């Protein structure tokens, strides 16, 4: 395998002159508020720092993460793959196949021990010794553990790798398990979503390359810069929510006017993602903008939290159709009836007592 | 006694034995009872808290119901000038804050207030007399006892209900409620750093919403039982109930010693 190109090499290869490169370095220093003394330092770093090798493995998944990733506009996925990172193994995107592909994986692991990033799309099923997902003739869980052993950090792409997604939904017959429950000794960045937004995916990688460290993570291990606010917090239909103007049925006048989809079970208020700001397909739209509520695909266990079309979650523990209101109302009804019966018996008892004592007096 | 009293005291008669053994009645209470047939139980801050708390809970239940099941869409003005759902949520948050501050004040009063102000926070589970009185009170509610006993503060069964539904229940609702509030207030902020950890504890925000919602129903059930029991005891027990939470004074209807 050839020596990995530096950023400078890539820029020169793309036709940028040395002069333009130096201008770029001065501009970067100025933009970052650094003194002119930093210009040669930046230039030096760009000239010497090799691009980060990335191994991208696929477990139980539908490739929607890859499909999303290659549609990134800012930065373009081609820039990320061809210029910024060195994507050494990705059986979906790479030219090599079969033994050559597996050899590339082994090569990368050995050559860059402790320096490569492992990106995981999908998750390993653990039932039947992992036989529900076979990669290169072996259970995926073995490939995952092998590749993770010497990784610098692990990126969990999508709801599958982060939380389990549909294959881990109840009753989870293959025991599909999120990556962080299998790999416990590496820093893991969860980038949930089904799929994650393209720009979020490339944004996370760009951050890690630019600053050479993990992005700031929230309590659940998601990059705070994309997952610290709910869809609801930045939703353009929020004024209708605050006004109390809701879509009452899918084909009503309010739906045509673009009112809030809260009553249609929109999970925007409980979903942390950047859809309402970054949007999808080069910022064209996102589910709520196209008239459908958010289904909360970037939340833990979103398949098991009731219907996509209810605001109050179904509590299947109490029967298929029940929810907090139905359970509560039933319980309150039973208690109310009990209280009424108790009051009736109490009244009867004391009436009985009165007649008895008046008889005794007589 | 030097002065003449209209209430003849019987110094050698043991009074309110059960209540003394469970730790409900203090020596001062017994003294008061020997002289008067009423005793001052709930001090002003306790009564004030009770009614503010009751009002806050009513507002919280009403607005909370609407937050889960919004009222029909209203077309009063442009969305910019209309804030119907916003006001409902504001009322919920405001009442929640009042409830929280009130509850903190109530905890403070448990330290500086009288003996009965502590009853809400400590169940004397180590006291076997207390347990036998819990069962006695249970039998009274099951119509197996002819007559209830006299209690100065809460009867042991009521005390247990208060502890689980109010002390623990309100704490649970405050913590989950403020965790939900922290979502709107923004990550990294004051409320998030205090209560944000609660959300992953329940899986995700939607699950926390459900559990907070169920909590409301638990409180509604408590309200039904509480109001029923207070009125029933006011009529059928041997002491005042409803007026005690207004005046603070517990009046006994008879002068029998137990």
The residue segments making up the domain with residue B78 are 17-251
Residue B218 belongs to some domain of the structure = yes
Question: Is the CB of A322 inside 8 Å of chain B's CB atoms?
Answer: no
pLDDT band at A152 (very low <50, low <70, confident <90, very high): very high
Residue at B76 is within a domain: yes
Mean pLDDT (chain A, rounded)? 88
CA distance A51 to chain B (A): 33
Asked if B205 reaches chain A (Cβ–Cβ under 8 Å), the answer is yes
A-chain CB neighbours of B73 within 8 Å are 244-246, 248, 254, 259
Mean pLDDT score, B108-128? 93
Share of chain A above pLDDT 70, in %: 96
pLDDT of residue B8: 66
Which helix (H) or strand (E) segment holds residue B97: the answer is helix B84-112
Neighbours of B46 (CB within 10 A): 20
Q: Chain A within 8 Å of B222 (Cβ-Cβ)? A: no
Which token pair is A270?
């409980």
Of chain A residues 239-278, which have a CB less than 8 A from chain B?
239-246, 248, 254, 259, 262-263, 267, 269-272
Q: Give per-residue pLDDT as tens, A263-305.
A: 999 999 999 999 999 999 888 999 999 999 999 999 998 888 8
pLDDT number for residue A3: 63
Question: Among A40-49, A167-176, B151-160, B235-244, which stretch is predicted with the lowest mean pLDDT?
Answer: A40-49
Q: Average pLDDT of A236-240?
A: 94
Classify residue B256: in a domain, yes or no: no
Pick from A17-31, A86-100, B143-157 the range whose average pLDDT is largest: B143-157
* Residue B67, in any domain of the structure: yes
- How many CB atoms sit inside 10 A of residue A184's CB? 9
On whether any CB of chain B is under 8 Å from the CB of A286, the answer is no
Contact A155, A122 (CB under 8 A): no
Q: Has residue B10 been placed in a domain? A: no
Q: Is residue B258 part of a domain?
A: no
Confidence at A326, pLDDT banded by 50, 70, 90: confident
C-alpha A229/C-alpha A225 separation (Å) is 9
User: Which band of pLDDT confidence, cut at 50, 70 and 90, is reported for residue A14?
Assistant: confident
The whole-number average pLDDT for the span A48-76 is: 86
Q: What is the ipTM score, two decimals?
A: 0.84
Residue B257 lies in a domain: no
Strands A138-139 and A134-135: antiparallel
Question: In CATH, what number is assigned to the domain containing residue B116?
Answer: 1.20.950.20
Cα–Cα distance, A163 to A59 (Å, whole number)? 13
Residue numbers of B between 70 and 89 with CB closer than 8 Å to A? 70-75, 79-80, 82-86, 88-89
Using alpha carbons, select from B226, B257, B254, B250 the residue that is nearest to residue B238.
B254
HSE on the CB side for A334, CA within 13 Å?
Answer: 7
Mean pLDDT computed over every residue of chain B: 90
Look at residue A20 in the predicted model and tell me its pLDDT.
Answer: 87
Return the H-helix or E-strand segment holding B92: helix B84-112
Question: Please, which residues 148-177 of chain B have a Cβ atom closer than 8 Å to chain A?
Answer: none
| pLDDT score recorded for residue A1 | 40
Q: Within 13 Å, how many C-alpha atoms sit on residue A105's CB side? A: 23
Scan residues 6-65 of B and list those with Cβ closer than 8 Å to A.
Answer: none
Give the 3-state secondary structure of chain A. Answer: CCCCCEHHHHHHHCCCCHHHHHHHHHHHHHHCCCCCCHHHHHHHHHHHCECEEEEEEECECCCHHHHHHCCCECCEHHHHHHHHEEEEEECCCCCCCHHHHHHHHHHHHHHCCCCCEEEEECECECHHHHCCCEECCEEHHHHHHHHHHCCCEEEEEHHHHHCCCHHHCCCCCCCECCHHHCCCCCCEEEECCCCCCHHHHHHHHHHHHHHCCCCCECCCCCEHHHHCCECHHHCCCHHHHHHCCECCCCCCHHHHHCCECHHHCCCHHHCECCHHHHCECCCCECCCCCCCCCCCCCCCCHHHCCCCCCCCCECHHHCCCCEHHHHHHHHHHHHHHHHHHHHHHHHHHHHHHHHHHHHHHC
Q: Which residues contact B152 (CB under 8 A, 6 or more apart)?
A: B16, B19, B24, B25, B29, B39, B41, B116, B250
Please name which of A231, A234, A241, A297 lies closest in space to residue A264, comparing C-alpha atoms: A241
**Domains of chain A as residue ranges with CATH:** 1-50 (no CATH), 51-227 (3.40.50.700)
Distance CA A3, CA A269 (A): 48
Q: How far apart are CA A247 and CA B95, in angstroms?
A: 28
Q: Of A26-35, B131-140, B164-173, which range is least confident?
A: A26-35
- The number of folded domains in chain B is 1
Supply the pLDDT for residue A223.
94
The 10s digit of each residue's pLDDT in B197-236 is 999 898 889 999 999 999 999 999 999 999 999 999 999 8
Q: What is the pLDDT of residue B2?
A: 45
Q: What is the pLDDT of residues A169-194, one digit of tens each?
A: 989 999 999 999 999 999 999 999 99
List strands edge to edge, sheet with A117-121.
A85-90, A52-58, A117-121, A153-157, A188-191
Q: What is the pLDDT of residue A276?
A: 93
Which pLDDT score, from 0 to 100, does residue B197 have?
A: 92
Shortest Cα distance, chain A CAs vs residue B173, angstroms: 15
Q: Would you say residue B2 lies in a domain?
A: no
């Amino acid at each position: 395998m050839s020596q990995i190109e530096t950023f400078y090499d890539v820029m020169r290869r793309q036709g940028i002159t040395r002069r333009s490169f130096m201008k770029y370095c001065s501009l970067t220093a100025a933009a970052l508020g650094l003194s002119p003394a930093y210009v040669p330092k930046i230039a030096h770093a760009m000239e010497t720092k090799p691009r980060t090798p990335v191994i991208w493995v696929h477990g139980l998944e539908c490739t929607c993460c890859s499909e999303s990733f290659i549609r990134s506009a800012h930065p373009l996925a081609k820039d990320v793959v061809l210029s910024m990172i060195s994507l050494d193994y990705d059986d979906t995107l790479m030219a090599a196949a079969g033994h050559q592909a597996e050899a590339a994986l082994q090569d990368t692991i050995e050559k860059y021990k402790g320096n490569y990033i492992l990106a995981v799309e999908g998750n390993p099923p653990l039932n039947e010794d992992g036989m529900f997902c076979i990669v290169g003739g072996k259970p995926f869980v073995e490939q995952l553990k092998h590749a993770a052993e010497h990784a610098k950090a692990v990126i969990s792409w999508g709801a599958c790798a982060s939380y389990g997604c549909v294959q881990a939904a109840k009753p989870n017959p293959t025991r599909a398990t999120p990556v962080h429950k299998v790999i416990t000794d590496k820093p893991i960045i969860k980038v949930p979503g089904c799929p994650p937004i393209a720009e979020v995916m490339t944004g996370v990688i760009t951050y890690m390359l630019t600053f050479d460290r993990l992005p700031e993570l929230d309590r659940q291990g998601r990059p705070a810069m994309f997952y610290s606010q709910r869809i609801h917090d930045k939703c353009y239909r929020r004024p209708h929510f605050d006004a109390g103007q809701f879509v009452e049925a899918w084909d009503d006048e309010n739906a045509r006017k673009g009112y809030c989809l809260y009553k249609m079970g929109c999970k925007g208020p409980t979903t942390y993602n950047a859809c309402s700001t970054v949007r999808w397909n080069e910022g064209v739209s996102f589910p709520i903008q196209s008239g459908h509520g958010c289904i909360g695909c970037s939340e833990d266990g979103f398949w098991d939290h009731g219907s996509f079309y209810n605001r109050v979650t179904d509590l299947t523990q109490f029967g298929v159709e029940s929810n907090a209101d139905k359970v509560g109302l039933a319980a309150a009804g039973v208690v109310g009836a009990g209280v009424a019966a108790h009051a009736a018996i109490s009244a009867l008892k004391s009436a009985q007592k009165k007649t008895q004592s008046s008889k005794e007096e007589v | 006694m030097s002065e003449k009293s209209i209430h003849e005291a019987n110094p050698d008669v043991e009074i309110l034995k059960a209540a003394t053994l469970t730790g409900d009645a203090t020596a001062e209470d017994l003294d008061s009872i020997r002289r008067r047939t009423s005793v001052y139980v709930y001090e002003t801050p306790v009564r004030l808290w009770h009614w503010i708390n009751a009002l806050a809970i009513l507002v919280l239940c009403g607005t909370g119901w609407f937050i889960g099941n919004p009222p029909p869409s209203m077309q009063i003005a442009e969305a910019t000038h209309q804030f119907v759902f916003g006001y409902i949520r504001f009322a919920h948050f405001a009442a929640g804050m009042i409830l929280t501050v009130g509850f903190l004040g109530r905890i403070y009063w448990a330290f500086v207030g009288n003996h009965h102000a502590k009853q809400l926070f400590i169940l004397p589970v180590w006291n076997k007399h207390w347990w036998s009185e819990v069962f006695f009170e249970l039998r009274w509610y099951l119509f197996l006892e002819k007559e209830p006993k006299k209690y100065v503060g809460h009867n042991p069964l009521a005390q247990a209900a208060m502890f689980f539904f109010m002390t623990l229940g309100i704490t649970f609702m405050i913590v989950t409620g403020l965790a939900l509030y922290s979502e709107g207030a923004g990550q990294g902020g004051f409320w998030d750093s205090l209560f944000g950890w609660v959300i992953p504890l329940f899986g995700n925000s939607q699950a926390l919403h459900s559990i907070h919602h169920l909590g409301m129903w638990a409180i509604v059930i408590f309200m039904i039982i509480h109001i029923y029991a207070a009125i029933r005891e006011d009529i059928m027990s041997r002491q005042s109930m409803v007026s005690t939470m207004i005046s603070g004074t517990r009046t006994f209807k008879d002068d029998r010693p137990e």
